Structure 1
Amino acid sequence: SLFDFQVLVPVTIFCIFLFLLGIIGNLMTILLFQRYKEMRTTTNLYLSSMAFSDILISLGLPFDLYRIWKYKPYIFGDFLCRFQFYISEACTYATILHIIILSVERYLAICFPLKARSIITKHRVKGVILVSWVVALTSAIPILFLFGVEYRDRSLPDSEESKECKYKVSSAQSGLLQTMTWFSTIYFFLPMLCLIILYGLICRKLWRSRYEPGRCNTNNRKKYHRQTVKMLAVVVLAFAVCWLPFHIGRILFSSTAWTGTAKYRLYNIIQYFNLISMLLFYLSASINPILYNIMSQKYRAAVYKFLNLRPSLQHRNSSRRSEPTSPGHTEISSYV
């Protein structure tokens, strides 16, 4: 193993917790959004697709945990080695695209409500989600040629004990490793810049609308918009915090992988940094259901209903107060 036993045990326990939370939590999110009619909004279509992406990411955790304990020999074969990295990369891109598109939708719904009402429909949203998945799966194709099973001991190329699932030396020498590293980095930082601009414009609009007189229905819609933006902003912040070390680790790895300097200078530091980045990466795939439950009364009520639990009196009263008092509340302004 690359790490001491004292490190591996707590990491393994935490990984098991993340795996169960990522699978069960995101699966429950999908079931809630599909089962209850009041939860089938355009926003929740995106969140359901993101939950599916997080499930696929979480399914790769056992393989990474195995590699932490025993990085060689890799017993799962070349196809599974490539496919795991490919799915993880594709789901990363899909999540980023979903967050961007969902934030643009919120911007239109808040700043241009009349136009958004005619543009944002369930049929179009499903088409956009499908296109975003096609773009993500296509963008990640080079990963299939970047990783694979290689023999660490080149003097014994047929030795099963020296097989590792890792980046291919040929890809590093050809520059593909550095190219994909910078491509994925741009795929992360450029959308983050766009999100900062979008949420800045949304917050400015909501702040100005506080002083605009309106009917009760309009005030309810503004309240829902604020709750939606708060929840999405927290999701985006968690996404950025959890994935930033992952991309920094990639840059460090690609800058040292083909020169060999990591082996002599920063090898141990990079390994522990990558371990923390991996844990944060899988944390980002499991934390969203918790955020929904904390920030959305509607989501909590659906969870209680799904599990046949009775919410407390205080929770029922707060849920009643949060309901719109006018039937004019539209689907595009509803939140999770």
Structure 2
Amino acid sequence: MCMDISIPLVLTVYIFTFVIGLPSNLLAFYTFLVKVRQKPTPVDILLLNLTVSDILLLIFLPFKMVEAASGMEWHLPKFLCPLSGFIYYSSIYISSLFLMAVSVERYMGVAFPIKYKLRRRPAYAIAASVFFWVVACSHCSIVYIVQYKDNSSSSNGTTSPFEKSHCYENFTPMQLQILLPVRLELFIVLFCLPFTITVFCYVNFVRILLALPQIRAQRKHRALGLAVATLVNFIVSFAPYNVSHVVGFVQNESPCWRVYALLLTTLNASLDPVVFYFSSTAVQQAFAKCLASLRHKLSALTARCHLPWLTRFEEGISEVEVASGDKAEESMV
């Protein structure tokens, strides 16, 4: 087992992601759910699925917090170990697939506006969503397959990744023979392919919009923000973790620094709301309403307590609300 893991760092990232990611994703989930029920569009269906994936990760994140607080030892019921790992890893690749799908939807809308508008159907987005969930979950079921090998290995007296008080660590050579090739496939199929498609779509998406003089500067800035936020999410959250698959396959072992790469991946749940903000006017308005509510509450508190620093903070929130609440176009096209 890899030693000298910084427990305070792990806990800090987990707590930050949970505190920031859960309320923002719940707000985005409610916003997209209302839009889908009123007038479903492909991009709203895709973004709704993306929020569901993030919320699932955040729901199971407290189990990882307990593990970290216990010195990376698993004292929870044993069945929660593979279940939390399955949800955790599935969410990573579900997010990458849906971010790719959103980039394709945006690119098709500006590259082929007439044909795409005539042919796009919510049913296509639903079918794609089901396909992405099945593909990601089926690949990440390797967690349970390794647990099966864990049981057979334990009967032979060898070390198990679920043995004693540790969860999914100390793999046997037999388990690595199964696990490492699957991780390499995850790197190629569920990271490299979505990342390449996303880069192609957003580079051309931004290029086309910038070349159109009649497009407003505000809309161009939103398009650029969406592209940058998505690509940064891929590079920061997904790339290090998936590179660890390649390193592990070459070295024929699970790298010790993989735990830190997983921390960056966990941050994805708090970075996705930035993508939601640039993708949807409804999300922008929802965040603006939350800021307005916070401003009114701070205003009342300031009036009661006569605290000047709260007044200055309230003025700053008011400026953010005005910048976020400007009326924007319903779609990027």
Normalised TM-score (structure 1): 0.74
Aligned residue for 2:300? none
RMSD: 3.8
Aligned residue for 2:237? 242
Task: Indicate how the Cα distance of structure 1 residues 308 and 35 shifts in structure 2: closer, same or farther if over 3 A, else same.
Answer: farther
- 1:243–1:280: 8 Å Cα contact kept in structure 2? yes
The residue type equivalent to 1:52 in the other structure is V
How far has the Cα of 1:20 moved from its partner? 2.4
Task: Indicate how the Cα distance of structure 1 residues 147 and 125 shifts in structure 2: closer, same or farther if over 3 A, else same.
Answer: same
Aligned residue for 2:303? none
Task: Indicate how the Cα distance of structure 1 residues 157 and 185 shifts in structure 2: closer, same or farther if over 3 A, else same.
Answer: closer
Distance in 1 between the 2:325 and 2:40 partners? Answer: 18
Alignment of 1:282-321 (within 5 A): 282-290=266-274, 292-293=276-277, 299-305=283-289, 309=293, 312=318, 315-316=321-322, 319-320=325-326
Distance in 1 between the 2:40 and 2:289 partners? Answer: 15
- 1:50–1:95: 8 Å Cα contact kept in structure 2? yes
How far has the Cα of 1:104 moved from its partner? 1.2
Distance in 2 between the 1:183 and 1:156 partners? Answer: 27
How far has the Cα of 1:23 moved from its partner? 2.0
Aligned residue for 2:260? 276
Question: Higher relative contact order at CA 8 Å, sep ≥6: structure 1 or structure 2?
Answer: 1
Aligned residue for 2:196? 193
How far has the Cα of 1:284 moved from its partner? 1.1
Task: Indicate how the Cα distance of structure 1 residues 4 and 97 shifts in structure 2: closer, same or farther if over 3 A, else same.
Answer: closer
Q: Does 1:182 align with 2:166?
A: no
Distance in 2 between the 1:319 and 1:72 partners? Answer: 46
How far has the Cα of 1:163 moved from its partner? 4.4
The residue type equivalent to 2:271 in the other structure is I
Task: Indicate how the Cα distance of structure 1 residues 122 and 225 shifts in structure 2: closer, same or farther if over 3 A, else same.
Answer: farther
Deviation per CA, 1:245-298, whole angstroms, max 9, x where unpaired? Answer: 11223333444455xxx8xxxxxxx53x33321221111122222454589775
Distance in 2 between the 1:198 and 1:300 partners? Answer: 23
Task: Indicate how the Cα distance of structure 1 residues 49 and 294 shifts in structure 2: closer, same or farther if over 3 A, else same.
Answer: closer
- 1:81–1:147: 8 Å Cα contact kept in structure 2? no
Distance in 2 between the 1:191 and 1:257 partners? Answer: 26
Distance in 2 between the 1:293 and 1:199 partners? Answer: 16
Give unmatched runs, 5+ long, in structure 1: 263-269, 325-330
Distance in 1 between the 2:211 and 2:258 partners? Answer: 44
Q: Secondary structure at the match of 1:287?
A: helix
Distance in 2 between the 1:195 and 1:157 partners? Answer: 41
Aligned residue for 1:205? 208
Q: Secondary structure at the match of 2:14?
A: helix
Give unmatched runs, 5+ long, in structure 2: 296-316
Aligned residue for 2:12? 13
The residue type equivalent to 2:318 in the other structure is S
Aligned residue for 1:23? 22
Aligned residues: 304
Aligned residue for 2:137? 137
Q: Give aligned-pair identity as a percent.
A: 21
Alignment of 1:224-243 (within 5 A): 224=219, 227-228=222-223, 230-243=225-238
- 2:206–2:227: 8 Å Cα contact kept in structure 1? no
Deviation per CA, 1:167-218, whole angstroms, max 9, x where unpaired? Answer: 5526435x211211111111212221222222232233223323xxx5xxxx
Task: Indicate how the Cα distance of structure 1 residues 10 and 54 shifts in structure 2: closer, same or farther if over 3 A, else same.
Answer: same
The residue type equivalent to 2:287 in the other structure is V
The residue type equivalent to 2:25 in the other structure is N
Q: Secondary structure at the match of 1:209?
A: coil
